[in-house]
Amino acid sequence: MKHRPVLQVQGVTKRFGGLVAVNDMSFDVANHEMVGVIGPNGSGKTTMMNMISGAFKPTAGRISLKGRRLSDMPAQKIAREGVGRTFQLVRLLPGLNVLENVMAGAVFGHRRRWGREAEDFALEMLDRVGLEVVAAAPVSALTYIDQKRVELARVLAGEPEVLLLDEWLAGLNPTELETGIELIHALRDEGRTVVLVEHVMDAIRALCDRCVVMSAGRKIAEGSPDDVLSDREVIRAYLGDDDD
Amino acid sequence: MLDILVSGLLLSGTYALVAMGLNLQYGVARIMNLANGEVLVLGALAAFWLYTTSQVSPLLTVVLVAPVSFAGNWLIYRYLLKPLVRRSKSQGALEVDSILATFGMSFIIIGVMVSIEGGFFAYKYLSEPISIIGSTTSLNRLVAFGVAVLIGGGLYLWLNHTRAGVAVRAVSVSTEASGLVGINVPRVSALAFALGGAITAVGGALISTFITLDASIGVVFTMKALIIVIMGGVGEIRGAIVAAAILGLVETAVATLIDPGLTLAAAYLIFVLILLFRPQGLFGRRAL
Amino acid sequence: MKPSGWLELLIAAALVVLAAFVPMFANGYWLSIAVTGMMYIALSTSWALFSGPTHYISLATGAFFGVGGYMVGTMMSDYQLSFWVPLIVAPLVAAALALLIGIATLRLSGVYFVIFTLGLAEMIRNLISWIQNNFLGSRGLYVLTDFRDHHLYWMLLGVAGVIYLLGWIVNRSRIGFALRIIGNDETVARHVGINTATAKVIMFTTTGFFAALVGAIIAPRWSYIEPNQVFSPQLSFLVVIMALLGGAGRLWGPLVGVIPFTIIWEWVGVQFPNQSTLFLGLAFLLIVYVLPNGVVGRIEQLRDRIGEGRS
């Protein structure tokens, strides 16, 4: 089971007008695996995430979940198929309270619940991310990391098969960062399948089984975090060529 | 057939001009101005009123209307719309607010116009027939077309070849990036909104020479301008010209061959086709 | 979900029963205002079912209302059918129309939708006038029934009650929750798995159905139907103003706006018949600049502030 990929990205390309944001990307994510997608700014990581979650349609190539083709589906269908995501800049529903925000995931996600059951499950997920106390609070009252927790709880409440975390750790202060890494580590221990886009290298070393490195829209390396982070081409992509 | 082609194309000149005005307001200032048609009718009313009371040529009115409308629209942007831009948390919230606020303005303008002139703005100016390439049309259509082309062309040159024009185009591409490169976005937005209003009012004065308007007809012109902007693609001047030509021709064809009362229905038909098959517009890259 | 839900419903039911007695006390002028008010209560409550949670400003009310009124006219006058036939058929036709409009516009951003509905009543009016003049002959459409004002009032009250009940159910259902999420952030809505277009189309179709039903019920009031009269763009705007003035965020919000506004509107119509458009414009500006969440929103805001002061 471990070796059959859950999520497959094959030859995916995305063009915006004349700009090629993602160029012929391919990688697999196995069950219970945590894969990091890393690369310098503007290398196409978020565009890649957006294509997996259905915010953009790929110009070419195929993305599939357990053999089912996602790349033609609209975002809501992909969410129901079992891909859950967080957003680079946290996106909560400002008019709903904390519990309702999480219930949004429980009610409409991959496993759909309703009423009492959805509420209980949402509370369970809030507890899971360490936030049970403020269930009735408006989201505007939350600190930044708590907002990120609510967003994560919303995604978890949909019980996705694959979790996409788009720079979930970005913008946290050092103490929060530690808490954040612990939280994602706990997800890893639960055996969840996760793809995470991240800039925090410590987090990548601590969390990822494998890394895919992107530069200028292409995959330039793939392997264990230690291997890819010492790869010459990767270092060059991050630090630039001599003339850069 | 040739008649339709000629009057359709002549009509599209003013349509393109008015759509340019709306494009500046929505594409640059990011305000969905649903009082656009009323500003147009206000320009028409000015032309009608000055002509019937003191024999002022509508072409002279155009020169008067432009600065007045520019100032009026600048004030509206500065004191009524800017507070909305400031308080809005998202583009969506701003859209709802500006739609409701500009509805309010449109009704106030209609109310004021009705108390000035409740009937039709009917007057005769340059209505003698003229024949061009074997087709007969009236002189006022030709003159209106010429003036529209002149103003539209001037605007196009200004946008492409002056510092201020380039700033306006930059803001239409991205408000954020423009701010970062040192463009005063609020000022450029106010300028674009005011300029858009001035052009719309001028378009109204021109249209009034060959179409009889009344105080409450504005919404029809708002619809037409919006359809042209959507069809051409937001921020696309060339797109707006082609779209205006299509709308002008289709409308004239429908009015001549079927019934003049169906021009709005024809515009809707085009609108539906665009929504179904090309919501980003014929030339546009981004949808609304 | 909320404990006060049943209480709310009970209060609403009691109000409906109380309102049913109005024709016993009011007659003539005041009953006619009550009919108008009840018409706007039904229209704006149903408008708020869709536009309240989603913030999509629909201006199609006048078009659907017109379909209702016009179909009663043409089916009774041209085809000698009973009043009850168009009463059933017209809402279904309007719902079908709303469905098509929804499919064309609601997949896209809200701006397209507003623009599309903006000229809709006008366009349908042009189209129908043309069809009538060229194919049906302008014979004039007479709606002759035995209904008096209090009959219309009771029918409208019944419809308003049904709309309220439906709204109450929707607020406790998946689709109601979905619409609230859509109104907050449509991108998030899609990414949690909501089929946003379907949810919007279903609710918009529902409001189209009810607007036509109200239009059909009120038709006997005029006895002579003209397209120019029933396809009134102004009606769409009045409904928006009343709903937003009260507050579209609560099911009973529009009610709070309709009652005073109907009375003021009547008064303006009598005192300043030529300034009514101006007044409409001022009402819009009042909503945007002074009461962005309506009277109900303002009351709740004050209550929260007092609550904070105490604690």
Give the model confidence (pLDDT) of C40-99 as tens digits.
999 999 999 999 999 999 999 999 999 999 999 989 988 888 999 999 999 999 999 999
Interface of chain A toward chain C, CB-CB under 8 angstroms: 53-55, 74-77, 79-80, 84-85, 87, 91-96, 100, 103-105, 107-110, 112, 114-115, 119, 154, 158
Residues of C in contact with A95 (CB under 8 A): 180, 183-184
Burial of residue C7, with CB atoms counted within 10 A of its CB: 0-12 exposed, 13-18 middle, 19 or more buried? exposed
The DSSP secondary-structure symbol of B46 reads: H
C112 touches chain B (CB under 8 A): yes
C281 with B262: Cβ contact below 8 A: no
Q: Across the interface, do C177 and A154 touch by the CB < 8 Å criterion?
A: no
The answer to whether C188 contacts A76, with C-beta atoms less than 8 Å apart, is no
Phi-psi region of A238 (alpha: psi -120 to 50; beta: other; left: phi over 0): alpha
Structure tokens at A140: 């505007």
- Domain ranges in chain A? 1-78+204-244
Q: Which residues of C touch B81 (CB under 8 A)?
A: none
Handedness of CA B32, B33, B36, B38 (dihedral sign): positive
Closest by Cβ to B115, choosing from C186, C274, C285? C274
Which of A76, A91, A95 lies nearest to residue C193, judging by beta carbons? A76
**What's residue A241's pLDDT?**
58
Q: Check if C247 contacts B (Cβ < 8 Å).
A: no
**pLDDT value at residue C311:** 47
Q: Which of A74, A95, A104 sits opposite C192 (nearest CB)?
A: A104
Which pLDDT band, with edges at 50, 70 and 90, does C152 fall under? very high
Nearest partner of B23 among B123, B152, B143, judged by Cα? B152
Chains that touch C (3 or more CB pairs under 8 A): A, B
Buried b (16+ CB within 10 A) or exposed e, C189-202: bbbbbbbbbbbbbb
Q: What is the mean pLDDT of chain C?
A: 90
* C-beta atoms of C111 and B261 within 8 A: no
Question: C236-262 pLDDT, tens per residue?
Answer: 999 999 999 999 888 889 999 999 999
Q: Which residues of A touch C180 (CB under 8 A)?
A: 93, 95-96
**A111: nearest CA in chain C?**
C193
Of B84, B96, B219, the CB nearest to C233: B219
Asked if residue C187 is part of any domain, the answer here is yes
AA identity, residue B215: A
Below-70 pLDDT ranges, chain A:
1-3, 132-133, 241-244
Q: What is the pLDDT of residue B286?
A: 53
Is B262 within 8 Å of C127 when comparing Cβ atoms? Answer: yes
Contacts of C195 in chain A (CB under 8 A): 76-77
Alpha-carbon distance of C207 to C101, in angstroms, equals 12
Provide the whole-model pTM. Answer: 0.91
Enumerate the residues of chain C whose CB falls inside 8 A of the CB of residue A137: none
Alpha-carbon gap: A73 to the closest alpha carbon of chain C (Å): 12
Out of C120, C129, C287, the one facing B100 most closely (by C-beta) is C287
Place of tokens 């016009």: C70
* Dist CA C233 CA C214 (whole Å): 16
Q: Which among C110, C118, C130 is the nearest to B219, CB-wise? A: C118
Give me the residues of chain B with pLDDT under 70, please.
284-288
Residue B135: the pLDDT is 77
Q: How far apart are CA A58 and CA A217, in angstroms?
A: 13
Does residue B288 or residue C275 have the better pLDDT?
A: C275
The CA distances from residue B207 to B13, B109, B147, B240, B276, in Å, are 10, 18, 11, 18, 31
Residues of B whose CB is below 8 A from C277:
107, 110-111, 114, 216
Q: Does residue C197 lie in a domain region?
A: yes
Closest chain A C-alpha to C49 CA, distance in angstroms:
17
Which residue does chain C place closest to B104, by CA atoms? C281
Whether the CB of C291 is below 8 Å from some CB of chain B: the reply is no
State the chains in contact with A (3 or more Cβ–Cβ pairs under 8 Å): C
Cα of C48 to nearest chain A Cα, Å = 17
Band of the pLDDT at C183, cuts 50, 70, 90?
Answer: very high
Chain B residue numbers touching C289 (CB-CB < 8 A): 83, 101
The single residue listed with the structure tokens 């309007």 is C94
Q: For residue A121, which amino acid is it?
A: F
- From chain B, the residues in CB contact with C109 under 8 A are 287-288
Which is it for the CA torsion A35, A108, C197, C288, positive or negative?
Answer: negative
pLDDT per position as a tens digit, A175-190? 889 889 999 999 989 8
Contact check, Cβ <8 Å, B265/C55: no
How far is it, in rounded angstroms, from Cα A206 to Cα A189?
Answer: 12
Comparing alpha-carbon positions, the chain C residue that sits nearest to A113 is C174
Mutate to test the interface with B, among C51, C115, C235 (most CBs of B within 10 A): C115
Please tell me the predicted confidence (pLDDT) of residue B177: 86
Q: Is B104–C126 a contact, with Cβ atoms under 8 angstroms apart?
A: no
Nearest-neighbour CA in chain B from C204: distance (Å): 17
Cross-chain residue pair C282–B219, CB shorter than 8 Å: no
**How far is residue B127's CA from residue A190's CA, in Å, rounded to a whole number?**
82
How close is the nearest chain B Cα to the Cα of C3, in Å? 31
Kindly list the domain boundaries of chain B, sorted by start residue: 2-217
Answer whether residue C139 shows pLDDT above 70: no
CA distances from C154 to A217, C22, C39, C64 (A): 66, 10, 11, 21
Enumerate residues 6+ apart whose C-beta is below 8 A from C18: none
Distance from C-alpha of B221 to C-alpha of B242, rounded to nearest angstrom:
18
SS3 track for B116-170:
HCCCECCCCCCCCEEEECCEEEEHHHHHHHHHHHHHHHHHHHHHHHCHHHHHHHH
- Specify the pLDDT at position A12: 95
Residues of C whose CB is below 8 A from A110 = 193
Shortest distance between the Cα of B196 and any Cα of chain C, in A, equals 19
Query: What gap in Å lies between CA B183 and CA B160, rounded to an integer?
Result: 16
Who's near A44: CB < 8 A, 6+ residues apart?
Answer: A14, A21, A22, A23, A25, A214, A216, A217
Residues A135 and A126: their CA atoms lie apart, in Å, by 8
Residue C122: which residues within 8 A CB-CB, separation 6 or more? B219, B220, B264, C231, C233
Q: Which of A93, A140, A155 to mutate to test the interface with C (most CBs of C within 10 A)?
A: A93
- Does residue C126 sit at the B interface (CB-CB below 8 Å)? yes
Q: How far apart are CA B172 and CA A49, in angstroms?
A: 28
Subunit contact C190:A75, Cβ cutoff 8 A: yes
Residue C3 has pLDDT above 60, yes or no: no
C192 touches chain A (CB under 8 A): yes
* Domain tally, chain C: 1
Give the class (CATH, top level) of A1-78+204-244.
Answer: alpha beta
